[in-house]
Amino acid sequence: MIRVCEPSLSDLEKKYVNEALENNWLSSIAPPVQLFEEAFAKRFGVRHAVAVNSGGSALFLALWTLGIRAGDEVIVPTFTMVATAGAVTQCGAIPVFVDAEPDTGNIDVTRIEEKITPRTKAVMPVHIYGHPCDMDPIREIARDYGLVIIEDAAESHGALYKGKPAGTLGDAGCFSFYANTGLCPSALPGVRF
């Protein structure tokens, strides 16, 4: 048995849950959410971080916010969790699959261009099991064809590509705190509330 990631929940998580219950905080304006967003953005060196209920919702919202709509095509890898392609279909768009590299499981960047059509609007690299995709050629292709990049960084908190955090290399990056993929906030190095 090889664990992908073991959840690490501490007293801090209990404290915030209890505070939320004690203070009747049922919506996203609860102060710990804002603290978390600010700490997350600082830790990853980005201007904004927005907390939502799941990695899947984050993927959908990123696509929608970046203008992906019905009939658009979005390039996704064959090897990922279903939420990646699911977010595309939630927008009414069409996932177009590109095969994975046999050694990393990440999208095979040499096979992206052959799947691009006039309807292609975005590409979603997924950093599988914390191994960053080769982002430079992906960024080059995106620039040449006018595509937006939504990184599915659900499995790659803290992974670096050429010194920069996975999830900060595209137009939007989405993370998950599902037990198998993410780390709890108190386990993020450098993040303390």
Ligand X SMILES: Cc1ncc(COP(=O)(O)O)c(C=O)c1O
Give the whole-angstrom CA distance, residue 170 versus residue 138: 9
Least spacing, CB of residue 160 vs ligand X, in Å: 18
Nearest partner of 135 among 178, 104, 114, 96, judged by Cα = 104
Please give the DSSP secondary-structure letter assigned to residue 126. Answer: B
Q: Smaller CB distance to ligand X: residue 108 or 145? A: 108
Dihedral of the alpha carbons of 13, 186, 151, 172, in degrees to the nearest 10: 80
Q: Phi then psi for 107, rounded to 5 degrees?
A: -55, 135
Q: Smaller CB distance to ligand X: residue 98 or 126? A: 126
Least spacing, CB of residue 12 vs ligand X, in Å: 20
Q: Smaller CB distance to ligand X: residue 51 or 145? A: 51
Q: Smaller CB distance to ligand X: residue 131 or 145? A: 131
Task: Give the bridge partners for 173, in sequence order.
Answer: 151
Least spacing, CB of residue 105 vs ligand X, in Å: 10
Q: Smaller CB distance to ligand X: residue 107 or 142? A: 107
Q: Smaller CB distance to ligand X: residue 145 or 171? A: 171
Least spacing, CB of residue 51 vs ligand X, in Å: 12
Least spacing, CB of residue 22 vs ligand X, in Å: 26
Please state at what angle helix 82-90 crosses helix 55-65, rounded to 10 degrees: 40
Least spacing, CB of residue 31 vs ligand X, in Å: 23
Contacts to ligand X by CB under 6 A: 54-56, 80-81, 83-84, 126, 152, 154-155, 176, 178, 181
Closest CB to ligand X: residue number: 55
Contacts of 3 (CB under 8 A, 6+ apart): none
Q: Are 119 and 73 in contact (CB under 8 A)?
A: yes
DSSP three-state, residue 95: strand
Q: Are 188 and 43 in contact (CB under 8 A)?
A: yes
